[in-house]
Amino acid sequence: MYTCGPTVYDYAHIGNFRAFLFEDLLKRWLEYHGYKVTHVMNLTDVDDKTIKGSQKQKIRLEEYTAHYTNAFYEDIKALNIKLADHYPKATSHIAEMVALVKTLIQKGYAYKSQDGSIYYAIGKFRDYGKLSHIKVAELQVGARVKTDEYTKEEAQDFALWKAWTREDGDVFWETELGKGRPGWHIECSAMSMRYLGETFDIHCGGVDNMFPHHENEIAQSESATGKIFVNYWLHNEHLLVEGRKMAKKFGNFYTLRDLLGKDYEPIAIRYLLLSTHYRAQLNFTFEALDAAGAAVERLRSFVRRLLYAQGNGSGGKVVELLSKVQEGFGGAMDDDLNVSVALAALFDFVREVNVLLEAGEVSRTEANDIDALMKRFDGVLGVIGEVAPQDVLSKEAEELIEKREKARKAKDWATADALRMRLSEMGVVLEDTAQGVRWRLVKKA
């Protein structure tokens, strides 16, 4: 699996992380099914944007991109994104890019322009446009575009190798193709095939990358090898903020760091960014982020509650619920990664088991089975983590203790006993002493 990684010219924003989290979810779901996934994510550390950025700060390109690369690694750790097997940097794979461009020239798909840059002739590749469905007949043959990013309307021969110009400053390589630097698109073709072979299974990225980036990757790779480049393409839709495109000029642009600076929990951000189906637009709002934090907390307190279950057994009800949730969650995820439906099934399960826990029906063995399944699901979601027994009273427990005291004072023994039972299921054991009630928390049996 190859996923287009960050262009390390700035801190990654939450739209980027929507893409990276969808890819993380996909990988984890494949692993849940027992697939061994080899995952490659490139780091675009030389392109139009990185060069401009380093020049603005008047530092060397390597120094500039190293800063944002390190920040990226910190961010993915905070979001509990599983590490890829390889993070190739474009600047470390110039030789592979040069070799690929040479092949394209030999096969007649690429040509040198007057300024020494080398272009891909899109008119030569019969299948050009097959991914993004653009109509090549309308293209002006021979017209050229040198910038890395452009729209469908500007589809033209694109730069594989950009001859050095003064604006590039000290960023260039002396190669058989001349003095210059690679175009962005050839980077991903060269690095994906270097690590995954000429044909590989899955390639992901955001919809904004479908054209021109991925269209051009297909053209470059397939015309060079004569083989299918990628078996499955998956593109995530965009993240919007408060219903609008996220942009600095709208004042609704957030990096992960911006949100962490406002004291939002990274795992709540993770939950929010992965909980919408990847092919639907995701509207980020701060209410939704609060709700995501609450959802994570609900899952955690559920798992914590399991630690204290010591009922007599549910008479098969737990087994039934376990199989129902596996079907519900699994069926939805198998259906093109329909995570919102999967999560709904999970929360139904939590609610139904909570009823049994409340009634004191869940035995230790059943609780352990539930816990094991929650761990498997969390291997996919990555939001619960290790849940420790409580060492401080929850607000809920405090209120129940107070209520019980009131009931005792009113000599309502039935209510007092029922409340003691509730607390015991939450792991809170009460002792009535001459000095009043004392509580202690019991660990898992």
Binding partner of residue 188 among Zn ion, ligand AMP, none, CB under 5 to 8 Å per kind? Zn ion
Please give the Cα distance from 121 to 111 (Å, whole number).
7
* Minimum gap (Å) between residue 39 Cβ and ligand AMP: 14
Query: Out of 1, 4, 90, 241, which residue is the one contacting Zn ion (CB under 5 A)?
Result: 4
Q: Which is nearer to Zn ion, 185 or 420 (CB)?
A: 185
User: What, of Zn ion, ligand AMP, none, does residue 71 touch, CB below 5 to 8 Å by kind?
Assistant: none
Binding partner of 208, given ligand AMP, Zn ion, none, CB within 5-8 angstroms per partner class: ligand AMP
Nearer to Zn ion, 156 or 220 (CB): 220
Q: Which residues between 174 and 203 bind Zn ion (CB under 5 A)?
A: 188
Closest residue by Cα to residue 206 from 17, 39, 341: 17
The alpha-helical segments, DSSP class H, found in 307-363 are 317-334, 339-358
Q: Toward ligand AMP, which CB reaches closer, 101 or 282?
A: 282
Question: Please, what is the minimum distance in Å from the beta carbon of residue 206 to ligand AMP?
Answer: 2
Q: Least separation, in Å, of the C-beta of 119 and ligand AMP?
A: 22
Q: What SS3 class is residue 111?
A: strand
- In the chain, count H helices and then E strands: 14, 15
Which residues, 6 or more positions from 342, have their beta carbon under 8 angstroms from its beta carbon? Answer: 328, 329, 330, 332, 333
CA distance 416 to 419: 5
- CB of 255 closer than 8 Å to CB of 269: no
Which residues of the shown chain bind ligand AMP in the complex (CB under 6 A)?
Answer: 4, 6-7, 15-16, 18-19, 205-206, 208-209, 236, 238-239, 246
User: Which of Zn ion, ligand AMP, none sits in contact with 7, Cβ below 5 to 8 A by type?
Assistant: ligand AMP
CB-nearer residue toward Zn ion: 85 or 258: 85
Give the Cα separation of 337 and 313 in Å (integer). Answer: 34
Least CB distance to ligand AMP at residue 234 (A): 11
What does 88 interact with, of ligand AMP, Zn ion, none (CB < 5 to 8 A by kind)?
A: none
CB atoms within 10 A of CB 198: 14
Distance separating alpha carbons of residues 368 and 364, to the nearest angstrom: 6
Q: Which amino acid is at 182?
A: P
Pick between residue 206 and residue 311 the one whose CB is nearest to ligand AMP: 206
Residue 264 token pair: 């939002």
Nearest residue (beta carbon) to ligand AMP:
206
Residue (40 or 321) nearer to Zn ion, CB: 40
Identify which of residues 16 and 223 has a Cβ nearer to ligand AMP in the complex.
Answer: 16
H helices of 175-316, in order, are 184-196, 215-225, 256-261, 266-274, 286-306
Q: At what angle do helices 94-106 and 184-196 cross, to 10 degrees?
A: 100
| Interface with Zn ion (CB under 5 A) | 4, 188
